[in-house]
Amino acid sequence: MSVLLLIAAFIAGFFLFLYVGLLLYKRRLKSSTKIETSNGISSLEEIRLGNLNQWIFIRGANRNNPVLLFLHGGPGAPLFGISSSRKYDAELIKHFTVVHWDQRGAGKSFNNDIPVESMTLNRLVEDCNELIDHLRGRFHTQKIFVVAHSGGTVIGIKVAHKYPDKIHAYVGVAQVINEHEQQKVSYDFLLNQAAKSGSAAKQKSVEAIGPPPYDSPDEFLKMAGHITKYGGFMHSKSMKDLIVLALNFLTSPEYSLSEGIRTFRNKGFDFTINAMWEELKKINLTEKIRSVEVPVYFFEGRYDMTTPTVIVENFYDNLNAEKGKKLFVFEHSGHMPMMEEKERYEELLINVVLRESLDSTPGLQES
C-alpha cells in the first residue's frame, strides 16, 4: 500500500471516529435530558409559517405550564435556539413550556429556496404571530410569554406592540433600539479601547473600519469582531465558552450533521443579514414604538457594546407601558446575560416575570 493510500485511510478513519463519537454524544445528551414527567413534552416539529416550512422545538415538564416563546438573535443567528435548548433550559422547563423557533432563514429553517424578497422584518413579525396563534391553539391558552434576544428583540417588541392581547409579558434581552445610534456608541467604545491599548496597529485597525452607518454588513461584522476582542460581547466568559456554544449546532440531537455544519458556518446568518441589511441598518424603534400595552422587561448587560445599554435606558425612560415596565442591569455581563449570569436570568423569569403575571392575571395558575 502506498504512502498516499495510508494517509487517505488514516484521514478516513479519523473522520469516521469523529462521526461515531458525535453520534454517541448526541444519543447520550438526548438520554440525559429526557423529560420523564407524565405530562411533559419534548417535541421537534416542522410547521408552516408564512407559506414556508419552519422548525420549532417544544420542551416542558408539564404541558399545562405557561408557554414561553424564545426568539433568537441575528436575525439569522440561533446561538440560543433549538440547538442549545437541552443544555440551557433545564430550570426554565420546570415552570414554562419553552418553545424555541429557528426563524425563517436560520438554523434548521434555512434552505436555498427561500425567496430573498420574503426576508423582511414585517414577514418575520407575521411568522411570529402565526406561531403564537399555533401555540395558543395547541396549548389551549389565551396568552404566552415572549422572550427575545438581540436581533430577535426587534421582532419581539413589534409583536408585543401589534398583538398585545396574545402576550402575557415581553422580555427584551440585549434589546435593539436604534441601530445607527447603538453602532455609534459601539464604535466610540472601540476607538477608546484601542487608544488605551497604546498600540498604533490596533488604533489603525479600528480606524480602518470607519464610523457608522455602514453600506454593507462587512464593516459591521468587522466592528463586531473587535467588540468581541475587547469584552463588549462576552464580559465574564471567554472565547472558549462562545466556541462551545457554537458547537451546539454540531452536537445537538435535533440537528443533522449537514444542518449543524451549515449553521456553524453561518450560512443562514450570511443569507439573512445580506438579504435584510438595508432594512436592518435603518431600525429605529424610538420612531415606531412609544407605548406598549403589555408588561415589559429589559435584561441588559452592563458591558454590552453590541447593543449598548445606554441607548436602551433612554428608550426605557420614554416608553409608556401602562401595565408596567422594569429594567434589570446584569452587572457582570456583556451581550449574553442568559449565559453569563444564567442563574439570575432564570430567577428573574421565574420569580419576577412569571410571578407578577400570575399575581395580576385572574384564573392563571402555575402548574
Q: Kindly list the domain boundaries of the chain, sorted by start residue.
A: 43-182+234-360
Write out the three cell numbers for 37.
Answer: 414527567
DSSP symbol at 317: H
Superfamily of domain 43-182+234-360: Alpha/Beta hydrolase fold, catalytic domain (3.40.50.1820)
pLDDT per residue as tens digits for the range 3-44? 777 777 767 776 666 667 778 888 999 999 999 999 999 999
Helix pair angle (200-209, 217-229), 10° resolution: 150
| CB proximity list for 310: less than 8 A, separation 6 or greater | 185
pTM over 0.75: yes
Place of cell 454590552: 304
Three-state SS at 351: helix
State residue 73's pLDDT score. Answer: 94
**β-bridge mates for residue 147, sequence order:** 70, 171
Place of cell 469584552: 231
pLDDT per residue as tens digits for the range 59-109? 999 999 999 999 999 989 998 999 999 999 999 999 999 999 999 999 999
Number of CB atoms found within 10 A of residue 283's CB: 17
Three-state SS at 98: strand
Low-confidence stretches of the chain (pLDDT < 50) are 362-367
State residue 361's pLDDT score. Answer: 56
CA distance 181 to 22: 43
